[in-house]
């Protein structure tokens, strides 16, 4: 196999950002869906918001880095439809990595609770009307995107494991 035909890896910045963002998003999905159930044990929301805003900042950096550093090509044997499905999933992930925190930020802007970053400094709120149309839309969108993220993560992890254990190619290692 020649260099460039699936043997290259994502560079260190891309790999680091991928894994940090992945871990925080998965943690935030669990914290988001279970925050009511965990209420008596721990108030997860302040951490949820701070980690979510961290994802927003890292994802914007990652998007810029990605535009400047094209992804290594997939192995030559990959069928066109799989390449298309991978590109679509990755593009949707970028939409979610920015859309989830942005809608969360909007939801929190309409709430009475303070918004700060790990207790270090206050984060400004958008001037939206509590329980107004934007607040309602942001709430719905935040929840729906949470479910879409669960679906895409299952698909994405399934695809990564299939490449590694069934097709036995380099796709997982290039992000490891
Ligand atoms: C990685 C980014 C994020 C992910 C994956 C995420 C995911 C979720 C999920 C799955 C829920 C539960 C949805 C529901 O049952 O209604 C939720 C709720 C919530 N999230 Fe996020 N979130 C993220 C970022 C943020 C940010 C940045 C903020 C605020 C600055 C935020 C504020 C909230 C609030 C206030 C709720 C509670 C909504 C309610 O039940 O009233 N989220 N989040
Ligand atoms: C919230 C969780 C995750 C998100 C949002 C996510 C997002 C992404 C994105 C956007 C890409 C494309 C990289 C680019 O071109 O910029 C990617 C690639 C990749 N991810 Fe994830 N990922 C997540 C979790 C995982 C997990 C748990 C695994 C492993 C089991 C994984 C394995 C991979 C692999 C192997 C690639 C390279 C695929 C390729 O080169 O086409 N990811 N991921």
Q: Taking a C-beta distance cutoff of 8 angstroms, is the pair 127, 105 a contact?
A: no
Q: What is the pLDDT of residues 14-32, one digit of tens each?
A: 999 999 999 999 999 999 9
For residue 79 the two structure tokens come to: 């069928």
The pTM is what? 0.95
Ligand 1 atom nearest residue 107's Cα: 35
117 strand-pairing partners: 121
Angle, nearest 10°, between helix axes 12-34 and 45-68? 150
Residue 162 Cβ inside 6 Å of ligand 2? The answer reads no
Closest CA to ligand 2's atom 40: 171
Residues 134-155: what's their mean pLDDT? Answer: 98
Question: Tens of pLDDT along 30-67?
Answer: 999 999 999 888 899 999 999 999 999 999 999 999 99
Q: How many residues does the chain have?
A: 176
Residues 164-174: pLDDT tens digits?
Answer: 999 999 999 99
Residue 117 has phi, psi (to 5 degrees) of: -105, 100
pLDDT at 23: 98
For ligand 2, the distance from its centroid to the CA atom of residue 103, given in whole angstroms, is 22
**HSE, side-chain direction, 13 A CA sphere, residue 127:** 0
Which pLDDT score is estimated for 5? 47
Whole-number mean pLDDT of the chain? 94
Coil, strand or helix at 100: helix
User: What pLDDT is attached to residue 1?
Assistant: 36
pLDDT at 129 over 70: yes
Instruction: Round to whole Å and give the CA distance between 12 and 44.
Output: 31
β-strand partners of 122: 116
Structural domains for the chain: 12-175 (1.20.950)
């Amino acid at each position: 196999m020649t260099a460039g035909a699936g043997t290259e890896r994502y560079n260190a910045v891309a790999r680091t950002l991928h894994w940090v963002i992945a871990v925080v998003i998965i943690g935030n999905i669990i914290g988001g869906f279970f925050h009511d159930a965990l209420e008596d044990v721990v108030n997860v929301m302040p951490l949820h918001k701070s980690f979510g805003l961290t994802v927003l900042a890292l994802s914007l950096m990652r998007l810029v880095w990605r535009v400047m550093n094209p992804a290594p090509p997939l192995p030559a044997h990959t069928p066109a439809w799989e390449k298309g499905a991978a590109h679509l999933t990755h593009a949707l992930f970028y939409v979610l990595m920015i859309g989830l925190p942005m809608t969360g930020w909007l939801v929190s802007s309409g709430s009475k609770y303070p918004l700060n970053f790990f207790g270090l400094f206050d984060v400004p709120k958008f001037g939206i009307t509590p329980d107004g149309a934007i607040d309602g839309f942001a709430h719905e969108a935040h929840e729906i995107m949470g479910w879409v993220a669960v679906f895409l993560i299952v698909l994405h992890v399934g695809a990564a494991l299939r490449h590694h254990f069934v097709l036995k190619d380099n796709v997982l290692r290039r992000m490891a």
